[in-house]
């Protein structure tokens, strides 16, 4: 599905990714973890083509993505901070993205799921953070694509929506899709993720299942396991 | 690209500033025609305003839009759309909406006052064409600056400086070199120096079409000899196109390398 | 000389010379006894009247050497077939009236004219139409002439192959009134002409000047119109010229001006209107000239002073919408500007006496720079120039600092 080889990315003097090589086979939920500034978002944005790496290759379905755009027809992306053009209404935004993609979408269902119907004719600039995030989720899940990339999907969500989101992700997983998630909510990872990629200072520190990580750090709790990794590293 | 253009265009057309800009020209057009009561005199006054204002508004709007549309841009970048399409679409959206404000804002009053029956139609047309070119050129330059600088204040500063340079400082340097090299034949130099700055080029193109060109005297005659011919006119339009094309090319180039 | 004066006096008293008390009347027409003008002149005695009836007379170089009255009845046409001059006159007390004279020959060595008067006194040239002329009316070494209500036209395209409408040389006491002069080299040309008056003429579309004075003194020109000439009026090397109530309009071109003054002294320029000229008045080496109550409207330069100008007074003039009001090429100033109205004036009048409380500086920095380096005119109407002019206005560095109108009017002077 995704094959990353020796990826380097530097912003000015700051080396963010230092030779990341990673293979993600199709199907399942993959959590990309790591402390702040470890390069999670940069890695995701590299896959999306929004960040252009200095060196290294990224293959999706065995095709290099450099200077390509068509491959994005087959992936959905949920950006970390939900920011939209403020002059548009929710309805117009969803309509615009549908228009741009030209694919069939199940937006109605999702709008109902997240209870967005009363907000459809409101301008995006007037929405609360949580509601914006729900719109963000609708946009990310409304197309039927084999690859779904979610950057901090839980931000600002109320518990009901969080449950809905988990349901959605599980449904997509059952449909055999590949889902990449970054998050800081370890409980979310513990219950959802099939595999973990742990980034530290621009390198992959650990790749494997949750169980393997717990075993490696001799901790039963994922949060503690990660804390152990980080303290060991610092010592 | 057309879809992006469409959305940027609608986004701008709905914003308050496009209306302000449009009504400004509308009121200006009516006011000038009402005060001067003659189309030809209004054209001269308009020239002064257009030469200064279109580059300035183009610069400010260009920078402002590219900064404020950052979210929209990021949203689009994750969609299956080519990068150059996104940026060129946005660029054309803003340049077209500004040009539309200019052309409609001035066109309506002049049409009502009968510019079509007047011999000034060509001069008025040239005025609008120059104004449109200047808008396209300065929006493109501003877009480049906004793309190159993440810091809004810095970007804004550079953009205003570029406008200031082209509109004022350039002419100052031009004047100084003319005075300093007084002893040498300066016709060719003036001609080239004029061609190199789109604001000066537009100013001269319009001046030469108006009665006021007689004031230019001998130097004016040299200019008239060049710009008066078809070659001169095509060369000028060609240069304005190059002036538009180069920043557009850089929009494409810079945007293809930029991280978001 | 006494007899001549006496004869002329009687002539002038008799308003209708046709029924003149003395002299015979000879008729010329295709069916008359006399069919050509030349023949009639040969048969006439001094003081006779020739009535030229309506018709077409192909005659050139008609020599008149005795006092005669030549009157056209119903506009007879005398055609010179573009060979040479047409009426060649060398006698006193001549009257030429009501003729159409056309097609004068062009020469680079001889001054062919429709009517050529040499050493003629007390002549009257009236109500004639002179078409396609080289020179129209050419007067040499004559005194007391009247040129009234003639229409002179040609189709001049080049200065060297065209002549002047009314050309007067070495003469005095001439009166040139109500004539219409068009498409010539100079409409009216005066060289060494003194004590003469020019009034109510219209001079238009001439290649060079509408009216041209050289070495002529004590003359006046009032109430004339000079429209769309290469330049309206040129007054050079002359003294005591009165110029009043004339209109200088649309003398517009790269080197055009309404009025050119060069080396002249003691002139009065009053109540004239200068409208839409490239340079309304171009002055060089002129002294003791009073410019009063003139209107300068929408000219490129209203007054361009090129140097050597002393003790000139500009008072009570209106300067309205000119690109440059006053242009100087030096920091020296010996001329005064008072009580003028300047449309560019932005001062205030707190005591409401109609006079601005802040002096006005009519010379802009840009006009000074253009004088020094003419090429800089390409920056006309650039924003930089506006800024430059403004800063010079606030603190003058380059322009003559005593060149101010300390009492600028707040409103247009009627």
Q: How many domains does chain C have?
A: 1
Test B259 with A50 for CB contact under 8 angstroms. Answer: yes
pLDDT value, residue C1: 46
E strand or H helix at B170:
helix B170-180
Please tell me which residue, A202 or B1, carries the higher pLDDT value: A202
Chain segment C106-148, per-residue pLDDT in tens: 988 888 999 999 999 999 999 999 999 999 999 999 999 999 9
Rounded Cα distance, B70 and C55, in Å: 90
Q: Searching chain B, which residue's CA lies closest to the CA of residue C301?
A: B215
Q: Searching chain A, which residue's CA lies closest to the CA of residue B65?
A: A85
Which own/partner pairs from C299-306 qualify as long-range (CB within 8 Å, at least 24 positions apart)?
C299/C258, C299/C274, C299/C275, C299/C323, C300/B212, C300/B214, C300/B215, C300/C324, C301/B215, C301/C327, C301/C367, C302/C274, C302/C326, C303/C327, C304/C257, C304/C279, C305/C329, C305/C335, C306/C282
pLDDT-based confidence at residue C206 (cuts at 50, 70, 90)? very high
E strand or H helix at B208:
helix B198-209
Least confident interval from A183-197, C8-22, C282-296: C8-22
Number of C-beta neighbours around residue A61 at 10 A: 13
pLDDT value, residue C10: 46
What is the pLDDT averaged over residues A56-85?
A: 85
Residue B157 lies inside a defined structural domain of this protein: no
Residue C136 lies inside a defined structural domain of this protein: no
Q: Measure B243 CA to nearest chain A CA, in Å.
A: 27
Q: Which residues of B touch A70 (CB under 8 A)?
A: 80
Residue B7 lies inside a defined structural domain of this protein: yes
Residue B17 lies inside a defined structural domain of this protein: yes
pLDDT value, residue B249: 95
Q: Of A50, A73, A96, which has the smallest distance from its Cβ to B7's Cβ? A: A96
| CB contact set of B77 (below 8 Å; sequence gap of 6+) | A48, A49, A50, B83, B86, B260
Test C372 with B179 for CB contact under 8 angstroms. Answer: yes
What is the pLDDT averaged over residues B180-198?
A: 87
Chain segment C148-201, per-residue pLDDT in tens: 999 999 998 888 889 999 999 999 999 999 999 999 999 999 999 999 999 999
Residue B156 lies inside a defined structural domain of this protein: no
pLDDT value, residue C14: 45
Whole-Å CA distances, C267 to A164, A182, C264, C288? 100, 95, 7, 7
Residue B160 lies inside a defined structural domain of this protein: no
Any chain B CB within 8 A of the CB of C157? Answer: no
Check: complex ipTM more than 0.95? no
Q: Of B51, B178, B200, which has the smallest distance from its Cβ to C373's Cβ? A: B178
Q: Write the DSSP string, C117-177.
A: EES-EEEEEES-EEES-SEEEEEES-EEEEEES-EEE----SGGG---SEEEEEEEEEEEE
Q: Of B168, B174, B215, which has the smallest distance from its Cβ to C380's Cβ? A: B215
* Domain spanning A2-234, CATH class: alpha beta
What is the pLDDT averaged over residues B211-217?
A: 72
Q: Is the pLDDT of residue A82 over 90?
A: no
Number of C-beta neighbours around residue B185 at 10 A: 10
Beta strands C268-270 and C242-244, pairing class: parallel
Rounded Cα distance, B74 and B155, in Å: 19
Beta strands C341-342 and C318-320, pairing class: parallel
Q: What domain range includes position B211? A: 2-151+165-257
Q: Measure B91 CA to nearest chain A CA, in Å.
A: 16
| CB contact set of A12 (below 8 Å; sequence gap of 6+) | none
Q: Which residues of A touch B81 (CB under 8 A)?
A: 69, 72, 100
Q: Is A41 helix (H, G, I), strand (E, B) or coil?
A: helix
Rounded Cα distance, C5 and B84, in Å: 98
Rounded Cα distance, C120 and C140, in Å: 8
Chain segment B120-175, per-residue pLDDT in tens: 788 888 899 999 999 999 999 999 999 999 899 999 999 999 999 999 999 999 99
Rounded Cα distance, C367 and C327, in Å: 6
Q: Of C252, C380, C384, which has the smallest distance from its Cβ to B216's Cβ? A: C380
Q: Which residues of A touch B7 (CB under 8 A)?
A: 96
Beta strands C113-118 and C87-89, pairing class: parallel
- The residue written with tokens 């040009």 in the block is B99
- Considering only residues 103 to 142 of chain C, which have any Cβ-Cβ distance to chain B shorter than 8 Å? none
Q: What are the backbone dihedrals phi and psi of residue A184, each rounded to the nearest 5 degrees, phi first?
A: -105, -5
Tokens of C396: 């003058």
Q: Write the DSSP string, B5-52.
A: HHHHHHHHHTSHHHHHHHHHHHHHHHHHHHHH--HHHHHHHHHHHHHH
pLDDT value, residue A233: 64
Residue C357 lies inside a defined structural domain of this protein: yes
The yes-or-no reply on A/B contact (3 CB pairs or more, < 8 Å) is: yes
The answer to whether the CB of A135 falls within 8 A of the CB of A84 is yes
Least confident interval from A27-36, A41-50, C209-218, C392-401: C392-401
The answer to whether the CB of B138 falls within 8 A of the CB of B202 is no
The answer to whether the CB of B186 falls within 8 A of the CB of C375 is yes
Q: Is the pLDDT of residue C12 over 70?
A: no
Rounded Cα distance, C362 and C302, in Å: 10
Q: Searching chain C, which residue's CA lies closest to the CA of residue B223?
A: C378
Q: Of B79, B256, B260, which has the smallest distance from its Cβ to A97's Cβ? A: B79
pLDDT value, residue C13: 45
The answer to whether the CB of A124 falls within 8 A of the CB of A84 is yes
Q: Searching chain C, which residue's CA lies closest to the CA of residue B167?
A: C383
Q: Where are the domains of chain A?
A: 2-234
Please tell me which residue, A142 or A156, carries the higher pLDDT value: A142
Rounded Cα distance, B168 and B64, in Å: 22
| CB contact set of B120 (below 8 Å; sequence gap of 6+) | B39, B40, B43
Tokens of B47: 């020239």
Q: Measure B95 CA to nearest chain A CA, in Å.
A: 19
Test C369 with B179 for CB contact under 8 angstroms. Answer: yes
What is the pLDDT averaged over residues C72-100?
A: 94
Rounded Cα distance, C84 and C87, in Å: 10
Residue C330 lies inside a defined structural domain of this protein: yes
- The residue written with tokens 């010329």 in the block is C28
Q: What domain range includes position C297? A: 244-414
The answer to whether the CB of A78 falls within 8 A of the CB of A84 is no
pLDDT value, residue B234: 85
Residue B136 lies inside a defined structural domain of this protein: yes
> Which candidate in A76, A85, A135 is best for mutational testing of the B interface (most B CBs within 10 A)?
A85
Rounded Cα distance, C282 and C234, in Å: 9
Q: Is the pLDDT of residue A136 over 70?
A: yes
Number of C-beta neighbours around residue B169 at 10 A: 13
Q: Searching chain B, which residue's CA lies closest to the CA of residue C298?
A: B212
Q: Is the pLDDT of residue C51 over 90?
A: yes
Q: Which residues of B touch A84 (CB under 8 A)?
A: 71-72, 75
Rounded Cα distance, C239 and C219, in Å: 8
pLDDT-based confidence at residue C307 (cuts at 50, 70, 90)? confident
The answer to whether the CB of C59 falls within 8 A of the CB of C78 is yes
What is the pLDDT averaged over residues A214-233?
A: 79
Average pLDDT over all residues of chain C:
89
> Which candidate in B73, B78, B83, B257 is best for mutational testing of the A interface (most A CBs within 10 A)?
B78
Q: What are the backbone dihedrals phi and psi of residue A143, each rounded to the nearest 5 degrees, phi first?
A: -105, 150
Q: Is the pLDDT of residue C20 over 70?
A: no
The answer to whether the CB of B147 falls within 8 A of the CB of B251 is yes
What residue ranges in chain A does DSSP mark as E strands? 2-11, 14-24, 28-33, 55-60, 63-64, 75-78, 147-151, 178-182, 195-200, 203-208
Q: Which residues of C touch B52 (CB under 8 A)?
A: 383
Rounded Cα distance, A129 and A137, in Å: 12
Rounded Cα distance, C404 and C394, in Å: 13
Rounded Cα distance, C112 and C163, in Å: 9
- The residue written with tokens 């899940």 in the block is A141
Residue C349 lies inside a defined structural domain of this protein: yes
Q: Searching chain B, which residue's CA lies closest to the CA of residue C250?
A: B211
pLDDT value, residue C18: 46
pLDDT value, residue B37: 62
Q: How many domains does chain B have?
A: 1
pLDDT value, residue A234: 55
The answer to whether the CB of A138 falls within 8 A of the CB of A132 is no
| CB contact set of B181 (below 8 Å; sequence gap of 6+) | B189
């Amino acid at each position: 599905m995704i094959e990353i080889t020796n990826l380097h990315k530097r912003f000015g003097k700051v080396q963010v990714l230092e030779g990341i090589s990673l293979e993600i086979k199709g199907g399942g939920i993959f959590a990309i973890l790591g402390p702040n500034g470890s390069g999670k978002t940069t890695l995701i944005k590299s896959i999306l083509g929004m960040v252009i790496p200095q060196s290294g290759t990224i293959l999706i379905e065995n095709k290099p993505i450099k200077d390509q755009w068509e491959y994005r027809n087959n992936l959905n992306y949920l950006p970390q901070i939900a920011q939209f053009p403020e002059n548009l209404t929710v309805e117009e935004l969803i309509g615009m993205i549908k228009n741009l993609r030209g694919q069939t979408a199940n937006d109605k269902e999702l709008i109902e799921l997240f209870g967005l119907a009363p907000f459809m004719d409101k301008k995006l600039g007037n929405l609360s953070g949580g509601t914006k995030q729900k719109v963000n989720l609708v946009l990310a899940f409304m197309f039927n694509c084999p690859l779904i990339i979610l950057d901090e999907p839980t931000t600002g969500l109320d518990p009901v929506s969080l449950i809905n989101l988990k349901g959605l992700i599980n449904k997509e997983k059952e449909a055999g899709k590949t889902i990449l998630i970054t998050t800081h909510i370890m409980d979310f990872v513990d219950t959802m993720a099939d595999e973990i990629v742990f980034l530290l200072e621009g390198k992959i520190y650990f790749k494997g299942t949750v169980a393997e990580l717990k075993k490696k750090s001799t901790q039963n709790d994922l949060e503690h396991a990660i804390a152990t990794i980080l303290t060991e590293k610092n010592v | 690209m057309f879809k992006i253009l469409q959305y940027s265009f609608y986004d701008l057309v709905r914003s308050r500033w496009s209306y302000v800009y449009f009504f400004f020209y509308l009121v200006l057009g009516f006011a000038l025609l009402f005060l001067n009561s003659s189309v030809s005199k209004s054209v001269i006054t308009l020239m002064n305003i257009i030469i200064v204002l279109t580059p300035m508004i183009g610069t400010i709007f260009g920078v402002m839009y590219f900064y404020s549309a950052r979210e929209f841009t990021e949203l689009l970048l994750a969609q299956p759309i080519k990068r150059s399409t996104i940026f060129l679409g946005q660029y054309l959206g803003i340049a077209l909406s500004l040009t539309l404000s200019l052309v409609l804002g001035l066109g309506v009053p002049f049409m009502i006052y009968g510019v079509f029956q007047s011999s000034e139609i060509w001069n008025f047309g040239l005025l609008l064409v120059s104004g449109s070119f200047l808008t396209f050129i300065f929006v493109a330059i501003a877009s480049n600056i906004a793309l190159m600088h993440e810091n809004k204040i810095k970007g804004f500063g550079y953009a205003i400086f570029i406008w200031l340079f082209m509109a004022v400082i350039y002419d100052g340097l031009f004047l100084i070199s003319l005075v300093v090299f007084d002893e040498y034949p300066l016709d060719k130099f003036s001609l080239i120096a004029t061609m190199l700055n789109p604001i000066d080029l537009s100013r001269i193109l319009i001046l030469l079409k108006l009665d006021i060109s007689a004031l230019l005297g001998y130097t004016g005659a040299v200019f008239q000899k060049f710009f008066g011919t078809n070659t001169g006119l095509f060369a000028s339009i060609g240069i304005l196109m190059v002036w538009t094309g180069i920043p557009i090319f850089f929009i494409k180039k810079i945007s293809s390398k930029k991280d978001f | 000389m006494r007899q001549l004066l006496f004869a002329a006096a009687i002539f002038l008293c008799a308003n209708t010379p046709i029924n003149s008390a003395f002299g015979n009347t000879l008729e010329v027409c295709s069916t008359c006894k006399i069919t050509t003008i030349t023949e009639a002149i040969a048969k006439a005695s001094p003081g006779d009247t020739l009535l030229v009836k309506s018709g077409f007379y192909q005659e050139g170089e008609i020599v008149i050497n005795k006092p005669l009255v030549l009157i056209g009845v119903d506009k007879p046409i005398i055609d010179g077939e573009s060979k040479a001059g047409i009426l060649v006159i060398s006698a006193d007390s001549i009257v030429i009236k009501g003729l159409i004279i056309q097609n004068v020959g062009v020469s680079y060595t001889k001054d062919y004219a429709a009517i050529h008067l040499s050493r003629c006194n007390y002549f009257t040239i009236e109500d004639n139409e002179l078409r396609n002329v080289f020179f129209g009316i050419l007067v040499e070494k004559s005194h007391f002439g009247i040129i009234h209500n003639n229409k002179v036209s040609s189709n001049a395209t080049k200065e060297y192959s065209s002549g002047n409408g009314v050309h007067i040389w070495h003469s005095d006491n001439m009166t040139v009134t109500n004539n219409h002069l068009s498409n010539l080299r100079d409409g009216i040309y005066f060289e060494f002409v003194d004590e003469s008056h020019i009034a109510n003429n219209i001079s238009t579309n001439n290649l060079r000047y509408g009216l041209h004075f050289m070495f002529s003194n004590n003359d006046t020109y009032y109430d004339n119109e000079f429209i769309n000439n290469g330049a309206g009026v040129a007054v050079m090397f002359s003294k005591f010229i009165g110029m009043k109530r004339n209109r200088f309009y649309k003398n517009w071109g790269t080197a055009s001006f309404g009025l050119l003054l060069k080396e002249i002294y003691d002139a009065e320029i009053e109540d004239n209107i200068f409208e839409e000229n490239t340079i309304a008045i171009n002055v060089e080496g002129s002294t003791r000239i009073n410019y009063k109550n003139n209107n300068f409207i929408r000219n490129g330069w209203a007054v361009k002073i090129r140097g050597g100008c002393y003790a000139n007074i500009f008072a009570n003039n209106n300067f309205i919408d000119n690109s440059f009001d006053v242009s100087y090429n030096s920091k020296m100033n010996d001329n005064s500007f008072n009580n003028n109205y300047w449309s560019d004036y932005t001062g205030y009048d707190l005591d409401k006496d109609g006079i601005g409380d802040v002096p006005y500086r009519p010379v802009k920095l840009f006009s000074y720079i253009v004088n020094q380096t003419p090429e800089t005119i390409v920056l006309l109407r650039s924003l930089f120039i506006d800024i430059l002019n403004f800063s010079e206005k606030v603190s003058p560095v380059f322009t003559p600092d005593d060149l101010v109108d300390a009492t600028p009017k707040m409103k247009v002077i009627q």
